[in-house]
Structure 1
Amino acid sequence: MSSLNLCYLLQPLTLICFTMPHASSPMPSGWQQRLQQIVTDRQANGLLRQRTVIEPHNGRELSLAGQRLLQFASNDYLGLAFANEPLAPMGAGASALVSGYHQAHQQLEQQLCQLLGFEAALLFSSGFAANSAPLALLQAGDRLLADKLIHASVVDAAQASAATLRRFPHNNMKVLGRWLGSAPVDGVTMVATESLFSMDGDQAPLADLVALCRQHGALSWIDDAHGFGILGAQGLGASEIAKPDLLTVTFGKALGASGAALLGSKAVIDAILQSSRHYTYSTAMPADLAQRISLRLQTIQTCDKRQHLKQLIAEFRRQAAVHNLPLLPSSSPIQPLLCQNAEHASALALQLRREGLFVAAIRPPTVPQARVRVVLNACHRLDDISRLVVALATHYHCGEGADE
């Protein structure tokens, strides 16, 4: 068997080598067939997922395979991912319930509560983890009523819980009200929606949803991942529109960082602290990341980039209408352009890349109908918009005849 010699210089003039085999142990035949079938099926349906290694330069541009591209794919809506805060690297070292809860974490939680008007908060290392935690509150006989387009993190957590999951038609408060009117005899009800839907770019009727929940004694929960930093006069997201019982905010979109927080009453957050395995058994958010997020929160209300972003959105939609591009109704930075099928979306994204534009093709099962998801950010310029729309109009209509 061939081998690879790996050498480590352990101390000056002392070289120690050992060998490591190239190949791993043979895979059982049943597993070989299973793994190959998963990939083959997705490839046959034009749905194969592949990672793309990029080199970001700034909020506007990135390089891919040596080609410099103007990008319209990042969720860094305000262009803050490239802010330069001089902070000393500092991890958390442990779970927040062991020794990983630093002063930086406490200060960030307090800052979020003061800014958004809640009693208590919990920090998580990802939005997926934060959205999994509330389902630990539900038991057999309880139910979660969720918008049909709710994020996969909520769906996965609900399916793993003992509660009953029921998904109401997208943004349909009439159906939700009827379902809330038939509450379970012994259990409780939680209602979940997004403030700004990540794939369609539209907004939920937040005030109506929260009012319905209060009327029927249900706990209202809003995932504000894409709205925080964007929605509201001050950019504070859903909390400027309606105050739910539970709010998820994430830091990987408009704040250009990573991680998330749950906010609510002290009673709700204390119960999640006692119940959530995602919080108990995960290393806490790095302390330097908490400091970075805290610094960016201090500027979010006075940020003038939101106004520029609104101008870009209006201009993009105006120009797209001139070229009869079928955009979904969205006033957000997320501007989906529906395609006939997955092949049409993939071909359009490839043609745009050849013209120096990076736009993501989003296909089933992530969305029911394939699309290219144009995402605008505050680093873009007006001439970037014109360049994008011309390219979209040229290649979109050329690909309309793609086979179903």
Structure 2
Amino acid sequence: MWAGRVLHATLSRAPRGSRAQSALAQLRGILEEELESIRGAGTWKSERVITSCQGPHIHVEGAPGGIINFCANNYLGLSSHPEVIQAGLQTLKEFGAGLSSVRFICGTQSIHKDLEAKIARFHQREDAILYPSCFDANAGLFEALLTSEDAVLSDELNHASIIDGIRLCKAHKYRYRHLDMADLEAKLQEAQKHRLRLVATDGAFSMDGDIAPLQKICHLASQYGALVFVDESHATGFLGPTGRGTDELLGVMDQVTIINSTLGKALGGASGGYTTGPGALVSLLRQRARPYLFSNSLPPAAVGCASKALDLLMESNAIVQSMAAKTLRFRSQMEAAGFTISGANHPICPVMLGDARLALNIADDMLKRGIFVIGFSYPVVPKGKARIRVQISAVHSEEDIDHCVEAFVEVGRLHGALP
């Protein structure tokens, strides 16, 4: 007791500044220790600085000459498409840089409503709602829709934004093994006691390049009275005959209840996300979705770019059709060389390496050979499953793809990843 009083008296007499400095020093020590552990594990993530616009060929700070970019989500090459850029410039001139407000106060313009209607029409849904990002769309959906009476069943490898969105809601949470329909069925049987049951899955899984078996998921959902939610961020614009996504690809557009997706990948590459589905759900999200209610509305230039990207897609599917052949060219050549490529028939082509440091070192040496790729390791992917994720774009040439494969073979042999 006496010692405690002495300590309290000492702290009381100590200048407030010195105590604050001591706390800051303690924080710095904790942070530096954590950062050093990341470096020691070989999982430190450096950011390369691009000094040009996004595209198949870019300029990177510190790297001589032009670099072929194989790690962007610019699937259709629309981020630097002249008509998309011009639409963004025109919208910027006409509607300004931003709204300085959230949507329900004074942050909704006619272009926001027009884009939402266009998104709903593109996906053949009743209505759509825009968010600053698809991460926000996922953060807003589950909490607004599901209560403690409901259940959500989520694939274990769903994107972090889906996982975080589900954490925010009060629904009972079930996690089924990746793409395991027997496990999903078991979880659906267990969840029959709840009011609503929502199966949540990525359409295409961004780290593995595999596609959810939506036909089987929708069949199970129908059998057990569940709804289906699909995040189409890595499918919208280029999967399916007209680029509508995995539900079109697999013929279940009329069986998927809710779609979330992004404007920041194939649809112009700027920013923004959305939810599209039943009109009543979209109306509820406008009233209750916190990322919608408390975030500034999407900047006009981003709206203009995305709107033009959708116009180009709905006018012609020529760009979409060019993806499959280029994806097959890369996958088949890499597998013939001895690499293991995860997933199938998707422009996300993960080159599986296992070791985190190996993935980072190979990525660094690829840059020296004019190829921009990134190594992925824990916590982005599970421990022991480090990889380099190569992403094919419709605007890559066959020569670009062949050069990438040649560089992988050379660097792979240098680091012992190939015999």
| TM over 0.5, shorter chain | yes
The separation in 2 between residues aligned to 1:76 and 1:401, in whole angstroms, is 28
Kindly report which structure 2 residues correspond to 1:23-102, keeping only aligned pairs within 5 A, or say none: 26=21, 28-57=24-53, 59-67=55-63, 68-83=66-81, 84-85=85-86, 86-89=89-92, 90=96, 91-102=98-109
Partner AA of 1:215 in structure 2: Q
- Please report how far the alpha carbon of residue 184 of structure 1 lies from its aligned counterpart in structure 2 after TM superposition: 5.0
1:224 aligned to 217, 232, 235, which one? 232
Partner AA of 2:362 in structure 1: L
1:308 aligned to 322, 327, 335, which one? 322
- Please report how far the alpha carbon of residue 280 of structure 1 lies from its aligned counterpart in structure 2 after TM superposition: 0.5
The alignment's C-alpha RMSD in Å is: 1.8
Asked if residue 172 in structure 1 is aligned to residue 180 in structure 2, the reply is: yes
- Please report how far the alpha carbon of residue 57 of structure 1 lies from its aligned counterpart in structure 2 after TM superposition: 4.5
The separation in 2 between residues aligned to 1:172 and 1:186, in whole angstroms, is 22
Aligned residues: percent identity?
Answer: 29
Change (3 A) 1:279 1:57: closer
1:32-82: CA deviation from partner (whole Å, max 9, x where unpaired): 222222211211111122222112355212222242311101000010001
2:262 aligned to 250, 262, 265, which one? 250
Which range moves more in the overlay, 123-132 or 273-282? Answer: 273-282
Partner AA of 1:394 in structure 2: E
- Please report how far the alpha carbon of residue 165 of structure 1 lies from its aligned counterpart in structure 2 after TM superposition: 2.7
Could you tell me which residue of structure 2 aligns to residue 259 of structure 1?
272
1:291-333: CA deviation from partner (whole Å, max 9, x where unpaired): 2211111111304222222221111122112211111132111
Could you tell me which residue of structure 2 aligns to residue 122 of structure 1?
129
Which range moves more in the overlay, 308-317 or 258-267? Answer: 308-317
Q: Is the Cα contact below 8 Å between 1:144 and 1:192 reproduced in 2?
A: yes
Asked if residue 387 in structure 1 is aligned to residue 403 in structure 2, the reply is: yes
Which range moves more in the overlay, 120-129 or 315-324? Answer: 315-324
The separation in 2 between residues aligned to 1:201 and 1:318, in whole angstroms, is 15
- Please report how far the alpha carbon of residue 213 of structure 1 lies from its aligned counterpart in structure 2 after TM superposition: 1.7
Partner AA of 1:384 in structure 2: D
Partner AA of 2:50 in structure 1: I
The separation in 2 between residues aligned to 1:51 and 1:398, in whole angstroms, is 24
Could you tell me which residue of structure 1 aligns to residue 148 of structure 2?
140
The separation in 1 between residues aligned to 2:246 and 2:402, in whole angstroms, is 31
Q: Is the Cα contact below 8 Å between 2:235 and 2:245 reproduced in 1?
A: yes
Q: Matched residue of 2:260: which SS?
A: strand
Q: Is the Cα contact below 8 Å between 1:140 and 1:162 reproduced in 2?
A: yes
The separation in 2 between residues aligned to 1:76 and 1:239, in whole angstroms, is 21
Q: Is the Cα contact below 8 Å between 1:197 and 1:203 reproduced in 2?
A: yes
Change (3 A) 1:184 1:309: closer
Could you tell me which residue of structure 2 aligns to residue 16 of structure 1?
none
The separation in 2 between residues aligned to 1:272 and 1:209, in whole angstroms, is 25
1:336-392: CA deviation from partner (whole Å, max 9, x where unpaired): 000031011011101111111111111111112100001111121111111111111
The separation in 1 between residues aligned to 2:48 and 2:209, in whole angstroms, is 24
The separation in 2 between residues aligned to 1:397 and 1:168, in whole angstroms, is 38
- Please report how far the alpha carbon of residue 186 of structure 1 lies from its aligned counterpart in structure 2 after TM superposition: 4.4
Could you tell me which residue of structure 1 aligns to residue 301 of structure 2?
288
Change (3 A) 1:222 1:351: same
Q: Is the Cα contact below 8 Å between 1:248 and 1:262 reproduced in 2?
A: yes
Partner AA of 1:364 in structure 2: Y
- Please report how far the alpha carbon of residue 187 of structure 1 lies from its aligned counterpart in structure 2 after TM superposition: 4.1
Asked if residue 104 in structure 1 is aligned to residue 100 in structure 2, the reply is: no
Change (3 A) 1:239 1:298: farther
Asked if residue 332 in structure 1 is aligned to residue 346 in structure 2, the reply is: yes
Could you tell me which residue of structure 2 aligns to residue 6 of structure 1?
none
The gaps in structure 1 that reach 5 residues or longer are 1-24
Partner AA of 1:177 in structure 2: E
The separation in 1 between residues aligned to 2:54 and 2:223, in whole angstroms, is 47
The separation in 2 between residues aligned to 1:88 and 1:156, in whole angstroms, is 33
Q: Is the Cα contact below 8 Å between 2:71 and 2:389 reproduced in 1?
A: yes
Partner AA of 2:181 in structure 1: M
Q: Which TM-score applies when normalising by structure 1?
A: 0.89
Change (3 A) 1:374 1:186: closer
The separation in 1 between residues aligned to 2:75 and 2:235, in whole angstroms, is 10
Q: Is the Cα contact below 8 Å between 2:48 and 2:61 reproduced in 1?
A: no
Could you tell me which residue of structure 2 aligns to residue 4 of structure 1?
none
The separation in 2 between residues aligned to 1:230 and 1:290, in whole angstroms, is 20
Could you tell me which residue of structure 2 aligns to residue 157 of structure 1?
165
1:192-216: CA deviation from partner (whole Å, max 9, x where unpaired): 1111111111111112212322322
1:88-139: CA deviation from partner (whole Å, max 9, x where unpaired): 4222331111111111111111111122111111100101001111111222
Work out the number of aligned pairs and report it.
Answer: 378
Could you tell me which residue of structure 1 aligns to residue 388 of structure 2?
372
Q: Which TM-score applies when normalising by structure 2?
A: 0.86
Partner AA of 2:400 in structure 1: D
The separation in 2 between residues aligned to 1:316 and 1:357, in whole angstroms, is 14
The separation in 2 between residues aligned to 1:319 and 1:401, in whole angstroms, is 16
Could you tell me which residue of structure 2 aligns to residue 214 of structure 1?
222
The separation in 2 between residues aligned to 1:79 and 1:237, in whole angstroms, is 17
Could you tell me which residue of structure 2 aligns to residue 268 of structure 1?
281
The separation in 1 between residues aligned to 2:74 and 2:295, in whole angstroms, is 26
The separation in 2 between residues aligned to 1:259 and 1:57, in whole angstroms, is 19
Partner AA of 2:373 in structure 1: V
